[in-house]
Structure 1
Amino acid sequence: MRKNLTITRLTSALLLILGMTSATAQQQSTISDDAAASRIAWWRDAKFGLFMHWGVYSIPGRGEWVQWDEQIPVNEYAKLAAQFHPDKFDPDAWAATAKSAGMKYTVLTARHHDGFALFDDPDSTFTSMKSAAHHDFVADYVKAIRAAGLHVGLYYSPLDWRYPGFFFPGIYQANANEMREQYHRQLNELASHYGKIDILWFDGGGVDWLGFNGIAFKGGWKARPKDQHYSGSFTWQDDQAVDNLRKLQPSLIMNDRTDAPADFLSREGDQAMGNFDNQHPWELCTTLTTGAWGYQPSASIKSRDEVIRLLVGAVGRDGNLLLNVGPPPDGQIVPEQAARLREIGDWLNRYGQSMYATRGGPYLPGDFGVSTYHDKTIYLHILHPAGATLSLPALPTKILSCSSLTGGTADCKQANDSVEITLNGNTDAVDTIVALTLASPAAQIKPITTPVTGKN
């Protein structure tokens, strides 16, 4: 995943890259044609997915950036592959956990920035097939997720820390080209030999990402100014890669972390929730635990209420939530994390009608919370109740009925300039949901601004 870093020293970075002994990606526009809308329709209804960061970096248990953070030389880091033989890997259990959480799709790190592939690549030895595990984990994962009725996603990082050409493509031109060839070859492998893939989740692609030009070495990455772009001759040739993917997987959807047009935009981290956007499909990705995305045994787990608010906040802004777990090296999702996911699923079993197959709005996020709608019903998600009565701007259609989904009752009074909702009985501590049944489709209502003082 992206990381806000500052790098140690140029010397140590080069030693790491060469294996000696001692990110913001440029956001791309989304595709807006009918074919793109058809491809992504299921995803916009799904709302909630499971992200899994898993690989040899799970062994040290210090996050997926451990190689870079600790400047572990390439040759030393590669020895982890000899220790990677997960004895509790059970993709059917992964699928069952995702389903129990109410998730509709999953994304697995087929290959992260360290370059270790969880699938077979005939032209690479740094894979799970050609190391201790002798196993194609992607193949079993895809089979299990598909059998469970979920949509299959694969994460792939074009960049590879093993290649000095990623950091200095002008100096190491041939090496940078080899890295690009690996990128195209491995994408072709994933799209050709694993059946239907629904999502290709890129990370670390695009010439403006991290290592190209303008980096500073003081313990981590320093981002190039946003108005300064890479001006060298290297290109990932993303258009060629994506054209090939479209031929092999016509219904595949992709995010915005390459230089090719995207099907959906990616926001990263709890603080990146951002504004309402119903013009571009988008997704917030964040972690169930604090800290890194890869396995950390000491990481604390977010509460049920925290996760529900993140989910409701994303859906109410017309986005999705992709929630990450980092399985330990044995391949099993940490039991306490699986239990937390099931708690989210219990909530969705009760109130999923206000989440799945909805769109955000028409009331924009405000002090009260957020809203979603489906057909002729608006769902008010009251996250910050300020007393028993909620006053919202008027609706341009008649309210036929008003009810509380989360306990007690709700009464509505509709006037020319407002809608007043009175809650009777208990309110839900995390999200009081009120359903407004309308005389006409909610999709016909333009977004309505609500008071905002920063609480939402």
Structure 2
Amino acid sequence: MKKFSRFFLLSSFLLCTVTIYAQNVDKDARAEHSMINVKEEKTATHTTHTGAQWFPEAGLGLFIHWGLSSVKNMDISWPMIPGRALSEKKLDSAELQRVVREKDYNLNGKPPVITPTEYWAMARDFNPQHYNPDKWIKAAKDAGFQYVVLTTRHHEGFALWPSAYGDFSTKNYIGGTDLLKPYVDAVRKYGLKLGFYYSPPNWYFDRDYMSFIYGRAYTLNPSLPKVDADLNPRTAKRSEEEIKQHQAAYAAMVKGQVEELLTRYGKIDLIWFDGKPPVPNATEIITQEEMRKLQPGIVINPRLHGKGDYITFERNPPKQDPGDTWAEFCNTWTNSWANSNTQPFRSNAFVLGEFVSARAWGVNYLLGVGPTADGVFPQSVYDNMKVVAGWMKKNSRSVQQVQQLPAGETASVPATANKNYRYLFAIPAFKEGGKYDADRLPAKDTTISLQTTLQPTAVSLLGSKQKINYKYTNGQLIIDLPAGIRTDLVDVIEVKLN
């Protein structure tokens, strides 16, 4: 997407929805990122390799989180880390001793639902007998997704391929089956761009050295003991030499696994890092220059090196136009990265609203789902993909191969441009902080405006071709959108300019 005008005016209902939603998730996202050494990026300088120039035009990506947590329909990795409540409440000495004794780290009167040791034990039951990524990717293709990113290894430490590094991968379980190869084949078969997610932080590998308490819990409660994988206070203290040797092995493991991902599967279009390992000179474990020697056209996100080809927004949408910087906003389709099986799906009106708002600023939207332990997408994933497919069939030209509004043009809603056409997005309203169908507010008669010096010749709903009344005076286009012609999803107004 070419970048022109860097600003558009949001309607009051959209601004309220986005602002409240961002406020609700900023704190959790920042806290998680601090634990895996991710810092907010504000700018990026992207590669000029011709093989990478697909990225800003991609628009819609599918983020597949899959790992051991699917055995118990949990979110991935983070359930083994208790203590978020302790990051918000300072305890006196007596209460802190009780919390540790009873393992009440979540301050809810009971031990956490799972310990790290119990979490990793799910590897014995992870055996995806009906794994069929061809079906996943075909559905994604039909729904208009342009690229796919799969978690090859999350913070939990379990690698979905038989890695030569470490002892916690499919090499040691499910008979050495490589779960990445069928995924790679399917993505290539359907012509999508291929992405690998990889977490340099590896909590299994680091299990004898790290504390399994939410990192920010220690800010208010510095006397809280470091705890082991059974959530008991650590009693052993590692020597400086042991720590040094462990860190060297940690770095070698990360470098070796990244090289495996970049050399075993042919062309990789994108690698999505998620954090830095707790070792000296973590950004130099494998440099971007070394990676580009193996994959010259690869797109690299910034979360390992502190810089990359684009900047990332997670769970909270961009608050301002990133300008000429490549950017991506990732969010979940349910309220969980990995659990699409038992969690309710967010309204597709909400999801598509986030998508079109991102596209209006030239930002890609990476939408997260998770397969079951058996290797299948729940039917609800396919059902919701069909909804998106139906919307894209009618409205795709408003979000694909489009630009931002030209300099000097603004709109009262998110908008895109393509030659002499403008696409204005009427996004359904939700209750404050709402994102499910039950939170939808009734449609109202709406007035939408576009400031442009070009004379409009036709205004209609893109999905139905229905003409809409409008007035154009002194460079301002005023469009009356009646509630009676609104759909349940994002409505796209197509404006043809002279």
Give TM-score, length-normalised by structure 1.
0.78
Instruction: State the shift of 1:308 in Å.
Output: 1.5
The 5 A counterparts of 1:320-399 are: 320-362=364-406, 368-383=412-427, 387=445, 389-393=447-451, 395-399=452-456
Number of residue pairs the alignment of both structures matches: 396
Any conservation in 1 of the 2:161–2:176 contact (CA below 8 Å)?
Answer: no
Q: Which residue of 2 aligns with 1:106?
A: 148
Whole-Å separation in 1 of the counterparts to 2:320 and 2:29: 22
Instruction: State the shift of 1:152 in Å.
Output: 0.7
Whole-Å separation in 2 of the counterparts to 1:3 and 1:175: 30
The 5 A counterparts of 1:285-300 are: 285-290=330-335, 292-295=336-339, 297-300=341-344
Q: Which residue of 2 aligns with 1:58?
A: 70
Q: 2:60 aligns with which of 48, 52, 66?
A: 48
Q: 1:68 aligns with which of 68, 76, 81?
A: 81
Deviation sequence 1:146-187 (CA, Å, 0-9, x none): 111111111000011131566799952321222121111111
Whole-Å separation in 2 of the counterparts to 1:5 and 1:30: 18
Q: Please tell me whether residue 127 in structure 1 is matched to residue 169 in structure 2.
A: yes
Any conservation in 1 of the 2:137–2:186 contact (CA below 8 Å)?
Answer: yes
Of the structure 1 ranges 429-438 and 97-106, higher mean CA displacement relative to structure 2 is found in 429-438
Whole-Å separation in 1 of the counterparts to 2:291 and 2:264: 12
Any conservation in 1 of the 2:41–2:312 contact (CA below 8 Å)?
Answer: no
Q: Which residue of 2 aligns with 1:451?
A: none
Any conservation in 1 of the 2:340–2:381 contact (CA below 8 Å)?
Answer: no
Q: 2:309 aligns with which of 236, 246, 263?
A: 263
Give the 3 Å change call, closer, same or farther, for CA 436–328 of structure 1 in structure 2: same
Q: Which residue of 2 aligns with 1:281?
A: 326
Give TM-score, length-normalised by structure 2.
0.72
Give the residue type in structure 1 aligned to 2:322. D
Q: Please tell me whether residue 438 in structure 1 is matched to residue 497 in structure 2.
A: yes
Give the 3 Å change call, closer, same or farther, for CA 102–178 of structure 1 in structure 2: same
Q: Please tell me whether residue 25 in structure 1 is matched to residue 53 in structure 2.
A: no
Whole-Å separation in 2 of the counterparts to 1:275 and 1:321: 15
Instruction: State the shift of 1:429 in Å.
Output: 4.2
Q: Please tell me whether residue 92 in structure 1 is matched to residue 131 in structure 2.
A: no
Q: Please tell me whether residue 426 in structure 1 is matched to residue 457 in structure 2.
A: no
Deviation sequence 1:242-269 (CA, Å, 0-9, x none): 2121111111102121224211111111
Instruction: State the shift of 1:318 in Å.
Output: 1.9
Q: 1:414 aligns with which of 472, 476, 486?
A: 472
Q: Which residue of 2 aligns with 1:315?
A: 359
Any conservation in 2 of the 1:307–1:344 contact (CA below 8 Å)?
Answer: no
Whole-Å separation in 2 of the counterparts to 1:140 and 1:364: 48
Give the 3 Å change call, closer, same or farther, for CA 376–32 of structure 1 in structure 2: farther
Q: Which residue of 2 aligns with 1:216?
A: none
Any conservation in 2 of the 1:160–1:166 contact (CA below 8 Å)?
Answer: no
Q: 1:198 aligns with which of 266, 269, 288?
A: 269
Q: Which residue of 1 aligns with 2:317?
A: 272
Q: Which residue of 2 aligns with 1:17?
A: none
Instruction: State the shift of 1:315 in Å.
Output: 1.2
Q: Which residue of 1 aligns with 2:298?
A: 252
Any conservation in 2 of the 1:40–1:263 contact (CA below 8 Å)?
Answer: no
Deviation sequence 1:355-379 (CA, Å, 0-9, x none): 1112333499999420011233211
Whole-Å separation in 2 of the counterparts to 1:29 and 1:415: 39
Supply the RMSD in Å over aligned alpha carbons.
3.2
Any conservation in 2 of the 1:390–1:420 contact (CA below 8 Å)?
Answer: yes
Give the residue type in structure 1 aligned to 2:416. T
Tell me the percent identity.
Answer: 26
Any conservation in 2 of the 1:52–1:326 contact (CA below 8 Å)?
Answer: yes
Give the 3 Å change call, closer, same or farther, for CA 106–34 of structure 1 in structure 2: closer
Give the residue type in structure 2 aligned to 1:251. G
Higher relative contact order (CA 8 A, sep 6+): 2
Any conservation in 2 of the 1:121–1:189 contact (CA below 8 Å)?
Answer: yes
The 5 A counterparts of 1:117-196 are: 117-162=159-204, 163=206, 172-196=243-267
Deviation sequence 1:277-330 (CA, Å, 0-9, x none): 23211111111112x312264311112212211211211232111111111100
Whole-Å separation in 2 of the counterparts to 1:98 and 1:263: 24
Give the 3 Å change call, closer, same or farther, for CA 3–245 of structure 1 in structure 2: farther
Give the residue type in structure 2 aligned to 1:182. M
Instruction: State the shift of 1:412 in Å.
Output: 4.3
Give the 3 Å change call, closer, same or farther, for CA 364–86 of structure 1 in structure 2: farther
Give the 3 Å change call, closer, same or farther, for CA 4–304 of structure 1 in structure 2: closer
Whole-Å separation in 2 of the counterparts to 1:314 and 1:80: 37
Unpaired runs of 5+ residues, structure 2, are 1-24, 83-111, 212-225, 227-237, 429-442
Give the residue type in structure 2 aligned to 1:435. E
Deviation sequence 1:96-127 (CA, Å, 0-9, x none): 12112211111100000011100121232211
Whole-Å separation in 2 of the counterparts to 1:364 and 1:57: 49
Whole-Å separation in 2 of the counterparts to 1:53 and 1:388: 38
Whole-Å separation in 1 of the counterparts to 2:195 and 2:47: 22
In structure 1, the residue corresponding to 2:496 is in which secondary structure? strand
Instruction: State the shift of 1:350 in Å.
Output: 0.8
